[in-house]
Amino acid sequence: MNSIPKQKKQISLSQFIIEEQLKIPGASGEFSALLNHLVYASKIVAREVRKAGLLHDILGSTDETNVQGETQMKLDQYADNAFNQSLKICGHLCALASEEHEEIIPIPSGYAIGKYTMAIDPLDGSSNIDTNVSIGTIFSIHQRLEPSSKAPGTEKDLLQKGSLQRCAGYIIYGSSTMLVLSTGKSVVGFTLDPSLGEFLLSHPDMKMPDSGSIYSANEGNASYWGKEVQDYIAHIKSIEGGKKPKTGRYIGSLVADFHRNLLKGGIFLYPNDTKSSKYPNGKLRLLYEAAPMAYIAEQAGGMAVTVKGERILDLEPKSLHERTTLVIGSKQEVLEFLSFVK
Ligand code: AHG
Ligand code: MN
Ligand code: MN
């Protein structure tokens, strides 16, 4: 008799979340349910990204600008709606912040108020949408300051430092769709199987190589950078003494640039403009870009600092859309950068 071929054991994200929940005595399941709502919305966005340009009029920009004065793309708005609709009524959040909304998004009346807050960049890499280049979503979850409170959450609940995140992660809509997250124990990656509509565990324990040969920065801005950053970049490109220069790779979507460097090793820099008034504090937003990526980086053995050398996870956010400089990547590379900081 023919035996049934052995099937490789595949763990879905839903299974993984249940197993993880079982390891925490007394866990209420609230956090697991919150993640499930996030995952559901991410599948809706992934579906739309995959067929952008085909059936729907989803490419291109809208006539609107967001709170930061940036033109909103149609897909920015679509993703923002998909995540908001799913998350604000899920019963596990007390407040939600999104790149696309100036103020916090309250929980609609009649819906349960939970003990978590989420800050989200619904669509990261907007400038790449129309050109079929990888884009992403970034999220950061904190527990509210008074976990037992049933009152609506406030801005204070969201303005907590990155080191206090309960979970952070991103979704990359690339050659495949992947969800990478950490709850503070390790970094795990799941790949969306489009035929099942399920994220399956594909990267059980992601570690960033201790060093790496890739550097990622928008060098078009190099003349605006401070001297320390300019000196560091000149150093890693130098061939003095037979040194091999690093390899430049820059996509312009933080999620995709970070994901590549997480797998291959390297460093990503978004410094501030010291000679123009465009981004005096850097471009990336602390709450929903820098802090969640820094959390993943550290959990994977990497580091994340500002151009002044401060640890990103120690920064105390002062406002929802505050910007920061970001230097993030393999430990040895970030340490080398720090040796250039006065
Ligand atoms: P968003 O699309 O969410 O506004 O973020 C864009 C960010 C980030 O993804 C990327 O690293 C950076 O902007 C790219 O900026 P430049 O085009 O200035 O290089
Ligand atoms: Mn972004
Ligand atoms: Mn965005």
Per-residue model confidence as pLDDT tens digits over 5-36: 777 789 999 999 888 888 887 778 888 899 99
Q: Is the Cβ–Cβ distance between 264 and 254 less than 8 Å?
A: no
Which residues 6+ apart lie within 8 Å of 95 measured at CB? 104, 105, 106, 107, 117, 144, 152, 153, 154, 155, 157, 158
Q: Would the pLDDT of 52 be above 90?
A: no
What percent of the chain has pLDDT above 90? 81
- Tens digit of pLDDT for each residue in 85-95? 999 999 999 99
What percent of the chain has pLDDT above 70? 98
Mutate to test the pocket of ligand 1, among 61, 172, 253, 281 (most ligand atoms within 8 A of CB): 253
Ligand 1 nearest-atom number relative to CA 268: 11
Ligand 1 nearest-atom number relative to CA 135: 9
In the reported structure, the alpha carbon of residue 289 is separated from the centroid of ligand 2 by a whole-number distance in angstroms of: 6
Angle at 148 between CA 142 and CA 150, to 5 degrees: 95
Which residues 6+ apart lie within 8 Å of 22 measured at CB? none
Nearest CA owner, ligand 1 atom 16: 252
- Tens digit of pLDDT for each residue in 117-166? 999 999 999 889 888 899 999 999 999 999 999 999 999 999 999 999 99
Binding-site residue positions for substrate: 124-127, 218, 250, 283
**Range with the lowest mean pLDDT among 62-71, 98-107, 306-315?**
62-71
What is the distance between the alpha carbons of residues 294 and 290, in angstroms, rounded to a whole number?
6
- Tens digit of pLDDT for each residue in 313-330? 999 999 999 999 999 999
Q: Residue 4: its pLDDT value, please?
A: 75
Q: Residue 54: its pLDDT value, please?
A: 67
Domains of the chain: residue spans and CATH: 13-203 (3.30.540.10), 214-338 (3.40.190.80)
Task: Quickly state the pLDDT bin for 60 (edges 50, 70, 90).
Answer: confident
3 state SS of 9:
coil
Please list all protein residues whose beta carbon sits less than 5 angstroms from ligand 2, which is an ion: 121, 124
Q: Residue 147: its pLDDT value, please?
A: 93
Q: Would the pLDDT of 290 be above 70?
A: yes
Q: Residue 1: its pLDDT value, please?
A: 61
In the reported structure, the alpha carbon of residue 72 is separated from the centroid of ligand 2 by a whole-number distance in angstroms of: 12
Q: Would the pLDDT of 237 be above 60?
A: yes
Nearest CA owner, ligand 1 atom 11: 254
Residues 205-211, mean pLDDT to the nearest whole number: 98
Angle between helices 331-338 and 227-237 (to 10 degrees): 130
Q: Is the dihedral of CA 183, 185, 186, 192 positive or negative?
A: negative
**Range with the lowest mean pLDDT among 70-79, 171-180, 280-289, 317-326?**
70-79
Q: Is the Cβ–Cβ distance between 120 and 99 less than 8 Å?
A: yes
Residues 162-175, mean pLDDT to the nearest whole number: 97
Q: Residue 55: its pLDDT value, please?
A: 57
Task: Quickly state the pLDDT bin for 74 (edges 50, 70, 90).
Answer: confident
Ligand 1 nearest-atom number relative to CA 250: 19
Q: Is the Cβ–Cβ distance between 98 and 77 less than 8 Å?
A: no
Task: Quickly state the pLDDT bin for 56 (edges 50, 70, 90).
Answer: low
In the reported structure, the alpha carbon of residue 90 is separated from the centroid of ligand 3 by a whole-number distance in angstroms of: 22
In the reported structure, the alpha carbon of residue 122 is separated from the centroid of ligand 2 by a whole-number distance in angstroms of: 8
